[in-house]
Structure formats: C-alpha cells, structure tokens
Amino acid sequence: MDPKRLVEVLKAHPFLEDFRPEHIEKLAGMASQVSFEADQTVFREGDESSFFYLLLDGKVALETRAAGRTLRIQTLQAGDELGWSSVLHPVRKQFQARTLEPVKALAFDGARMLEACESDCSFGYALMRRMLGIVAERLQATRMQLLDVYRPGGPRAS
C-alpha cells in the first residue's frame, strides 16, 4: 500500500476518528499490511503480546479454552481493533485469535508504539485514550454478558 493510501485508510478507521494528522502520519510510519487465510491462528493464548492490529476486512474470533471446550469471547470485524494488550509490553496474550474468514489488517509492533508514546507525550496520550476506550468497552460488554440477561426468568442474581 502506498504511503498516501495508507494514511487515507488509517483516517477512515473508526479507532482513529478525530486523530490529529501528525499522529496519523506517525502511525502510518509504523504500520505494515498483513493478511491471514481463513481459520488461521493470529496468536495463541500465552503468546508474547507483540502486535496491535486494525482490522480492514474479514472476521476474527477471540477464543479461550475452558472445561475442554473452546469458547468464543468476541467476534471482531472490519473497523475493530485486535491486540490492545500489545501496548502493555511485556505481557502475554489472554485469548486466542483465530480468523473466521480471510482477513486483511494493519499491524503495529507494540514495543515500537510504546517507544513512540514515550518520546511524544501528545501522541501517547491520544493513543492511550483510545486504547482505554477499547478496554472500557470490552469490560462493559463482558460484565453485560455475565449478567446473562436473556436467561428465562431474567438476569442472574447470583
């Protein structure tokens, strides 16, 4: 992808809505385009958390294994982000990410992003605010799921 097109793609991604142009440029300098086949493992539970992805096309399942079964935590698709924990470097992946269909994404090295955050606090603040937004959204979604609101008889009280 040529640099101009890359900037346009980043600008259009919901994660970077209202991101300042110089910050977009900075991210563009760190982005690499990646693609995955359907049913390919992007990362496994316990892997070192290295890459952050902005999904451009396709779907990814976030999964974990429990009681001998694979459980889906979330389905991510174009416009979503994957691997926010990469900016907590060093940390290990909590879940497995598996593609449900062919996926195109932009990948960012977590360690490099962290360096950029530390050397440019304005960029770091803008990026971390967005990351915090994702974390808060996922925490809220998980809490709601735990309530099991569609259970016959209503949400679980205990």
- Please tell me the distance from the alpha carbon of residue 84 to that of residue 69, in angstroms, as a whole number: 25
Position among 7, 34, 100, 135 found at the interface with another protein (CB under 8 A): 100
- Sequence-distant (6+) residues with CB within 8 A of 3 are 28
Task: Report whether 47 contacts 86 (CB < 8 A).
Answer: no
Position among 52, 63, 96, 113 found at the interface with another protein (CB under 8 A): 63
Angle, helices 3-12 vs 21-28, to 10°: value is: 120
Find the part of the chain contacting another protein (CB under 8 A) among 50-58, 65-73, 86-94, 116-124: 65-73
Verify binding: residue 77, another protein, rule CB under 8 A. Answer: yes
Verify binding: residue 48, another protein, rule CB under 8 A. Answer: no
Task: Pick the closer one to another protein by CB: 41 or 75.
Answer: 75
Position among 32, 70, 119, 122 found at the interface with another protein (CB under 8 A): 70
Interface mask toward another protein for 102-141; x: CB under 8 A = -----------------------------------x--xx
Q: Are strands 69-77 and 32-36 parallel, antiparallel or unpaired?
A: unpaired
User: How many angstroms separate the Cα of 133 from the Cα of each of 64, 84, 103, 149?
Assistant: 23, 11, 24, 24
Nearest one of 101, 94, 93, 45 to 76, comparing CA atoms: 101
Q: Name the site residues for another protein (rule: CB under 8 A).
A: 14, 59, 61, 63, 70-75, 77, 79-80, 100-101, 137, 140-141, 144-145, 147-155
